[in-house]
């Protein structure tokens, strides 16, 4: 093949690759543009503070936002101590054999479709444990979903702490827990926090599991307890999308959801920077 032909083939291929790179980005831009055009007019202080309604102009997203906040907080309160604790155990205490088994298990759980978590929540929390279609069922289901993520990122954060620090502390007579608490955790903490916030950002967008455990389409009040009926932002969007005439509402909801997810991810990064600086300062104080 002549060099010119090869060159042309290469150019064509390069162009193809270029398309492969920019087409998804262009489609993402299209998605955002469409959501903005449809949703921005609907978005306003009324939308964010109104309750659902049969008429699109009056339908608002307040119970969904409140529900998301509430259920996410509950899920966080459950998942974070458990997840961080599990990671500490696996990294600092567990024998290597266990560790390997659990690691594989975590990889499986992380790759599980979220709808199966919904199934588990439906079977166990809603029915067997009799919690019904309430906020606590939703929170527990989300907590389970988020747990593998929290454990994995915490483990990575713990792993990054140099072994030398641990060994030195132990050599000086600290117990394992003291080592963890005073030496390992402070260094790993910023990254753990980042991981937690990112996991929560992911949980914010979860729709299928919560629909399956009973997040409602229409609630006229804010959640007022763990046994309260509720709805969340993505579920509200879902019910609007499938309803003709409510597309602007769905679009506005999409904008709110995307902003919240983005804000959480930005928060995660900022938190980490802040906490790392705090930790560095703390270490400078000591001689």
Partner 1 sequence: MKATTDASASHDEPVVVLPPSAPLTASARGTGERLIEALLTSCGLLSLAMTAGLILTLLAETIAFFDDVSPGAFFGGFEWAPRLAHQQFGVWPLVTGTLLTTAVAMAIAIPAGLLAAIYLGEFASVTTRRWLKPALQVLAGVPTIVFGYFALVVVTPALQTVMANLSGFNALSAGGVIGIMLIPMIFSLSADAISAVPADLREGALALGADRLTTIFRVLLPAASRGIGASILLALGRALGETMIVAIAAGHQARLTADPTVPIETMTGYMLQVASSGVRAETVEYRTIFAVGALLFAFTLVMNVLAYRLQRRLRQEAVA
Partner 2 sequence: MRRRFFFVSCLALTGLSLANSGCGTARGADASEVVAIDGSSTVAPLLEAAAESFGARQRARITLNISGTTGGFAKLCRGEANVIGASRPLLETEMDDCKRRGVEVIELPIAVDGITVAVHASNDWVDALSLPELRKLWSAEATGTIRTWRDLRPSFPDREIHLFATGGMESGTYRTFVDRVLDGGGSRSDFTRSENDHLLVEGVARDRDALGIFGFSYYAQHSEQLRAVPIIASGGAVPVRPSPETIASGDYRPLSRPLFLYVNRASADLPPVKAFVQHVLEHAPALVTGANSVALPPAAYPLVRQRFEQRRTGSLFTSLAPAGTRILQVLEGDDRRQR
Residues at the site binding partner 2, with contacts judged by CB under 8 A: 51, 53-54, 58, 69-70, 73-74, 76-77, 130-134, 186, 189, 216-221, 223-229, 242-245, 275, 278-279, 282
What is the spatial distance between Cα 157 and Cα 144, in angstroms, rounded to a whole number? 20
Q: Which two tokens stand for residue 25?
A: 């980005």
CB of 151 to partner 2, least distance (A): 19
| Alpha-carbon distances, residue 33 vs 25, 40, 168 (angstroms) | 12, 10, 56
- Report residue 176: phi and psi, to 5°: -60, -45
224 binds, among partner 2, partner 1, none (CB under 5 to 8 A by kind): partner 2
Closer by beta carbon to partner 2, 30 or else 280: 280
Window 177-216: contact mask with partner 1 (x via CB under 8 A):
xxx--xx--xx-------------xx-xxxxx--xx-x--
Closer by beta carbon to partner 1, 116 or else 275: 116
- Does 234 engage in binding with partner 1 (CB under 8 A)? yes
Closer by beta carbon to partner 1, 55 or else 284: 284
Could you give the angle at which helices 62-88 and 247-285 cross, rounded to 10 degrees?
40
CB of 183 to partner 2, least distance (A): 14
**58: Cβ–Cβ under 8 A, 6 or more apart, which residues?**
50
| CB burial readout 247-277, b (16+ within 10 A) else e | bbbbbbbbbbbeebbeebeebbeeebeebee
Q: Find tokens 């390997």 and name the residue.
A: 100
Residue pair 79/146 in contact by the 8 Å Cβ criterion: yes
Q: Which two tokens stand for residue 85?
A: 């604790």
What is the spatial distance between Cα 140 and Cα 75, in angstroms, rounded to a whole number? 6
CB of 218 to partner 2, least distance (A): 4
Closer by beta carbon to partner 2, 106 or else 140: 140
Q: Find tokens 């132990």 and name the residue.
A: 170
Binding segment for partner 1 (CB under 8 A), chosen from 53-61, 67-75, 134-142, 173-181, is 173-181
User: Which parts of 150-169 interact with partner 1 (CB under 8 A)?
Assistant: 151, 161-165, 168-169
Could you give the angle at which helices 233-241 and 62-88 cross, rounded to 10 degrees?
130
267 binds, among partner 1, partner 2, none (CB under 5 to 8 A by kind): none
Residue pair 197/274 in contact by the 8 Å Cβ criterion: no
CB of 29 to partner 2, least distance (A): 25
CB of 188 to partner 2, least distance (A): 12
Burial of 160 (0-12, 13-18, 19+ CB in 10 A): exposed
Select the residue interacting with partner 1 from 41, 85, 225, 245 (CB under 8 A). 85
- Does 109 engage in binding with partner 1 (CB under 8 A)? yes
Closer by beta carbon to partner 2, 50 or else 103: 50
- Does 89 engage in binding with partner 1 (CB under 8 A)? yes
What is the spatial distance between Cα 101 and Cα 80, in angstroms, rounded to a whole number? 22
Window 53-82: contact mask with partner 1 (x via CB under 8 A):
----------------------------xx
34 binds, among partner 2, partner 1, none (CB under 5 to 8 A by kind): partner 1
């Amino acid at each position: 093949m002549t060099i010119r032909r090869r060159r042309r083939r290469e150019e064509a291929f390069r162009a193809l690759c270029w398309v492969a790179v920019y087409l998804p980005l262009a489609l993402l831009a299209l998605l955002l543009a469409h959501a903005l055009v449809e949703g921005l007019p609907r978005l306003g202080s009324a939308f964010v503070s109104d309750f659902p309604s049969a008429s699109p102009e009056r339908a608002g997203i307040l119970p969904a936002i409140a529900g998301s906040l509430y259920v996410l907080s509950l899920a966080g309160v459950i998942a974070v101590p458990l997840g961080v604790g599990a990671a500490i155990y696996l990294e600092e205490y567990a024998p290597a054999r266990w560790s390997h088994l659990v690691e594989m298990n975590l990889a499986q759980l992380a790759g599980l479709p979220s709808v199966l978590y919904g199934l588990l929540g439906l079977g166990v929390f809603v029915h067997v444990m009799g919690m019904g279609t309430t906020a606590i069922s939703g929170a527990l289901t989300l907590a389970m979903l988020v747990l593998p993520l929290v454990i994995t990122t915490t483990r990575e954060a713990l792993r990054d702490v140099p072994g030398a620090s641990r060994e030195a502390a132990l050599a000086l007579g600290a117990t394992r827990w003291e080592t963890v608490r005073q030496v390992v955790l402070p260094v790993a903490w910023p990254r753990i926090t980042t991981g937690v916030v990112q996991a929560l950002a992911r949980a914010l967008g979860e729709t299928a599991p919560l629909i399956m455990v009973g997040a409602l389409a229409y609630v006229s009040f804010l959640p007022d307890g763990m046994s309260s009926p509720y709805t969340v932002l993505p579920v509200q969007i879902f019910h609007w999308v499938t309803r003709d005439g409510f597309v602007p509402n769905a679009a506005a909801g999409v904008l709110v959801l995307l902003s919240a997810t983005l804000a959480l991810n930005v928060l995660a990064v900022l938190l980490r920077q802040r906490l790392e600086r705090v930790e560095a300062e703390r270490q400078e104080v000591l001689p």
